[in-house]
Chains A and B, each alone.
Chain A
Amino acid sequence: MIESTTIDGAEERALSDDGGRAVLPNDSGFAAGPDGVRLAFDVYGAGDPTLVLMPSAPIIHSRQWKGQVPYLSRRYRVLTYDGRGNGRSDRPTDPASYHDDRFVDDLETVMDATGTDRAVLVGLCGDGVWRAIRLAAAKPDRVLGIVAFAVGVPRIAPAQPHYVASSKVFDDVLPTSEGWAKHNRHHWRRDYADFAQFFFSEITSEPHSTKAIEDAVGWALDGSVDAMLADADAELPFDLEGIEGICRSVQCPMLLVHGSEDTCQSPARAHRLAELTGAPLVIVEGADHMIPGRHPVKANLLIRDFVESLGGRSR
């Protein structure tokens, strides 16, 4: 059992844009998984099937789906939770707590706590998409389908060059903090807000994105640098062959959605996952990384059409 470090009063923490919601949850609570880390979840709506909107944690929390929850919960039961390390959930600071398996455990923990036997999983980037794929591969009975935005499956195609370069010197003290040099352990410690502003501006490069950027930066600052560093220090326990094998083994329907201008995850990863799974791929021309936040109507209709295409046959 890994000891969790709970920030006092985390449950009462006021999140950055917690005012004025279009829809309120009809059930909220905390679930603790095998390692005792408590996860804050919310359930909206009562339709069928259940959709789990996966967290991109620890960098942001469940409000990342604010553009989806009101629409989708009119039709379906929608489950969101703050991933470990942000929001109202616990924030352990040891890298072992951010092992890939823990995030998959968390998904099952929250599904169990809410009486969700099976669900459609909707994820963004690596934190959302890859963990959804892992559960679908390990527990096919629990996953009806996956909608993967900004396909973030590691290793299956090269990372964006700015990540490759900055990751090599992530632990180094750099002579500059300009541009992607902000993606650096020491700069995070020095000025995490500066990194967050830079990062979300870079990956939300469409015109007229000031609100989407402001929201995401707020959610990042709701989190914890210690959690981010612990997550960064967690090793990914799979090589390319292992990852591709897991992707190939997924049996449920999938829909892949990727922006043609994605600064965070290369479109090559989306094309490669489409090859590995046979899943259809929608390229949103002109879109960058944060498709659900920046293009909510498109995202919502794609999710709805995908869920309807399941036809209830596997519910």
Chain B
Amino acid sequence: MGSGGGRMDTVRLRERLAGSASDAGSPAADGQTRARYPDEDGFVERDGVSVYWERYGDGQPAILLLPTWSIIHSRFWKAQIPYLARHFRVVTFDGRGNGRSDRPAVTAAYADTEFVADGLAVLDATGTDRAIVVGLSMGGGYALRLAAEHAERVLGAVFIGPSLPMGIRWPDRETYPFDAELDTDAGWARYNAFVWRRDWHGFAEFFIDQVFSEPHSTKPIEDGVGWADETDGETMVIAETAPYLVVSDGGADLRGKAATLALAARVTAPCLVVHGTNDRITPVGVGRALAAALGCPFVQLDGSGHGPDMRDPVKVNLLIRDFVRQVERGTR
């Protein structure tokens, strides 16, 4: 019988694929296989807090994929790493509070300045002099401070759905206090210390559902909630009140929009801001305002939510690639 090479045994495809993947590296704790495993990984320690990092690829220049709010960890870059690492050196790390990094029990340990210092320590540990920094959501704040205060390490910065205090917020997020016990846990009332301690998983399901507002997002939602389950409500309550983008200006501290604008004014590196029009966490106007403050290009992703890295990975990857190449050529 002419069947290519004669009679073959039945092949059970998933077992074969899983077998070859696990030969190439170690499966993650969640049991998922990866399209690419790190070429190098390790920990940096600062003030007794251990932070886990990974390096993929070694092309030039380097890209630092920053952490974001510690509700998730570095796997949120899973759709960027395999593509970008084919062209560039990609360094990422788990933000303190989640993943394989420590969960310090002190609020001050979660200041944005600590995440920035972790990023610099990871650059040092990987022998990376300078990098393009890429931040999503709160990671946009870390990217902004890195670019403003550590210009010698930053070749350029990409801000994706940046969550910055620009005075532009969804009205329904202003309604409820964080520290008071409420008689409701409907909607954004779940953004509350008592709810987090009582039902962190339930909050995570609500929040991640808001992040991925596009249709057909069940897989990113499942991933995101799974990463949120790797931290806990108590840790997140401790981290919640840490300073974020406070800038000292002589004797006084600048906060909020004034601090953001002061940092933006100091940025000299080329920048790019990308923001989805259907972002239910941070309105698209925040990204637009940041781009205006930085005087940099703004790419509006029509219909995208707060997680275009996972939900529109090809667009995001090509935007990052093109930006990096323009920076390399000095055309941006």
Same complex for A and B? Answer: yes
B18 to chain A, nearest CB (A): 9
User: Bound complex: CA of A39 vs CA of B215, how far in Å?
Assistant: 33
Q: Are B11 and A280 in contact (CB under 8 A)?
A: yes
Residues on A with C-beta less than 8 A from B7 are 278, 280
Chain A, interface size category, equals 20 to 34
User: Bound complex: CA of A309 vs CA of B215, how far in Å?
Assistant: 39
Q: Which single residue of chain A is at the shortest CB-CB distance from B216?
A: A211
Q: Does B4 contact A (CB under 8 A)?
A: yes
A244 to chain B, nearest CB (A): 14
Q: Are A280 and B4 in contact (CB under 8 A)?
A: yes
A6 to chain B, nearest CB (A): 34
Q: Which single residue of chain B is at the shortest CB-CB distance from A145?
A: B4
Q: Are B3 and A208 in contact (CB under 8 A)?
A: no
Q: C-beta contact mask, B128-158 vs A, less than 8 Å → 1, else 0?
A: 0000000000000000000000000000000
A303 to chain B, nearest CB (A): 13
Q: C-beta contact mask, A202-244 vs B, less than 8 Å → 1, else 0?
A: 0000011011001000000000000000000000000000000
Residues on A with C-beta less than 8 A from B216 are 208, 210-211, 214
User: Bound complex: CA of A144 vs CA of B258, how far in Å?
Assistant: 70
Q: C-beta contact mask, A288-315 vs B, less than 8 Å → 1, else 0?
A: 0000000000100000001001100000
Q: Which single residue of chain B is at the shortest CB-CB distance from A267?
A: B10
Known: A210-B215, A280-B8. A251 touches B13 (CB 8 A): no
Partner of A286, one of B3, B4, B14, B222: B14
Interface of A is mostly: mixed
Q: Are A207 and B222 in contact (CB under 8 A)?
A: yes
B residues contacting the other copy or chain, number (CB 8 A): 20
Q: Does A122 contact B (CB under 8 A)?
A: no
Q: Does A281 contact B (CB under 8 A)?
A: yes
Q: Which single residue of chain A is at the shortest CB-CB distance from B13?
A: A284
Q: Which of A254, A277, A280 lies at the interface centre, i.e. has the most chain B CB atoms within 10 A of its CB?
A: A280
Q: C-beta contact mask, A243-277 vs B, less than 8 Å → 1, else 0?
A: 00000000111110000100000000001001001
Q: Are A255 and B4 in contact (CB under 8 A)?
A: yes
Q: C-beta contact mask, B287-321 vs A, less than 8 Å → 1, else 0?
A: 00000000000000000000000000000000000
Q: Are B222 and A277 in contact (CB under 8 A)?
A: no
Residues on A with C-beta less than 8 A from B10 are 271, 274, 280-283
Partner of A251, one of B2, B4, B8, B222: B2
Q: Are A253 and B13 in contact (CB under 8 A)?
A: no
Q: Are B218 and A208 in contact (CB under 8 A)?
A: yes
Q: List 14 A-B contacts (CB under 8 A).
A: A207-B219, A210-B216, A211-B215, A214-B215, A253-B2, A253-B3, A253-B4, A254-B3, A274-B10, A278-B1, A280-B8, A280-B9, A285-B14, A310-B4
Q: Knowing that A207-B222, A253-B4 touch, tell me 14 more A-B residue pairs with CB under 8 angstroms.
A: A208-B219, A211-B215, A211-B216, A251-B2, A252-B2, A254-B3, A277-B1, A278-B1, A280-B11, A282-B10, A283-B10, A283-B11, A285-B12, A310-B4
